[in-house]
Amino acid sequence: MCWVRFGVQKQMKIWLSKNSEVPLREQIITQITLGIISGDLPPAQKLPSTRELSHRLEVHANTVSAAYRGLASRGWVEFRKGSGVYVRELNADAAMDAALELDRLIAKLFQEARSKGYAMSEIAARVKRWLDAQPPQHFLLIEPDEELRNILAAEILQATGFSVATASIEACASKLVGAAPITLYSRAEQVRAALPPDTSFMLLHMRSVSDELQGKERPTREDLITVVSRWRELFKWSRTVLVAAGIDPETICFRHPDEADWQKGLHTNWLVITDALTAERMPPGCNFRVFRIIADASLDELRNFKDFLSKPLASL
């Protein structure tokens, strides 16, 4: 921790934890932001040069430079060519950028709490408790296969109208704030190991490809069935199930929408099976059915969950 002089009379205490998981750049940004909110750093106040501040804090100049750029991008400071970095004059009457307004609200919260003597560990613990208690604002779909992840997210959005974020298994633990985690039943053990203990998540079941043929006459040997998808695993899976359902394997074709002329001739097929994303690119006159990977029962569960969150407290 050290005292850093800002201008002739203004001084501000800046402390850095070099063992923290929070990058040094963000520590500098946060503390200068608090200084601006508190009035310790008034508008038009010149900040120390990159070289001076890096020397005082004993960090690399690139770290300070990145912090100043971050403060500028968030609207707290401005660069004046040939002069240096200055606290920005904020127009109270002007519409404020959403991110800047949120930063100001958060900074005021921390400033007020610190002024009343609360330690940062106490503040952080209480903020985390409040965040954990908030109802989810979106689903977090956890799936390692990127192509399948995108298709599943499209299905969920189309079925529920509820916002869907996605994450790999490795990254899911860092995206839990405001999220209701969901994953395929087959990924349950992997996801459980990746999430913090006692984190609950919903499991999605998959439907059968053969269900897509319900209500249709069985095709002849001359009738073609083409499976079109960005998810190549659907090719192997659908072939196995269709053949098991009695479909002649010679009548089953597969296409990937990244291939040249993949739409050509699809209108002559007896049936085209595709995924929720690729369906938007089907050519006119094509007899296709969207294969929903997620079972109806699981989609109904997601809809019910979304409807529950949408109800006002008084009606619960």
Query: Which domains, and CATH codes, for the chain?
Result: 2-126 (1.10.10.10), 134-207+298-315 (3.40.50), 210-291 (3.40.50)
* Phi, psi (rounded to 5 degrees) for 291: -85, 110
Share of the chain above pLDDT 70, in %: 84
Give the pLDDT mean for 260-276: 91
Ordered alpha helix ranges (H), the chain: 24-38, 50-57, 61-73, 98-115, 120-133, 146-160, 188-194, 233-244, 296-310
Give the pLDDT mean for 287-303: 90
Alpha-carbon distance values, 239 to 121, 175, 228, 232, 246 (Å): 56, 36, 12, 11, 11
Query: Where is pLDDT greater, at 10 or 155?
Result: 155
* Closest by Cα among 114, 95, 37 to 71: 37
Helix (H, G, I), strand (E, B) or coil at 280: helix
Amino acid occupying residue 253: C
pLDDT-derived band at 177 (thresholds 50, 70, 90) equals confident
Report the alpha-carbon distance of residue 145 to residue 302 in Å, rounded.
21
Share of the chain above pLDDT 90, in %: 38
CB 257 within 8 A of CB 230: yes
Q: What is the CA radius of gyration of the chain?
A: 28
Query: Of the ranges 4-13, 60-69, 267-276, which one carries the lowest mean pLDDT score?
Result: 4-13
Whole-number pLDDT of residue 77 = 92
Give the pLDDT mean for 100-124: 79
- Angle at CA of residue 163, ends 161 and 169, nearest 5°: 130
Whole-number pLDDT of residue 203 = 93
* Phi, psi (rounded to 5 degrees) for 227: -105, 120
Whole-number pLDDT of residue 125 = 81
CB 279 within 8 A of CB 288: yes
Query: Of the ranges 40-54, 104-118, 266-280, which one carries the lowest mean pLDDT score?
Result: 104-118
* Closest by Cα among 118, 105, 120 to 20: 120
Structure tokens of 258?
């990244």
pLDDT per position as a tens digit, 54-110: 988 889 999 999 999 999 988 889 999 889 999 988 665 444 566 667 777 777 787
Whole-number pLDDT of residue 313 = 41
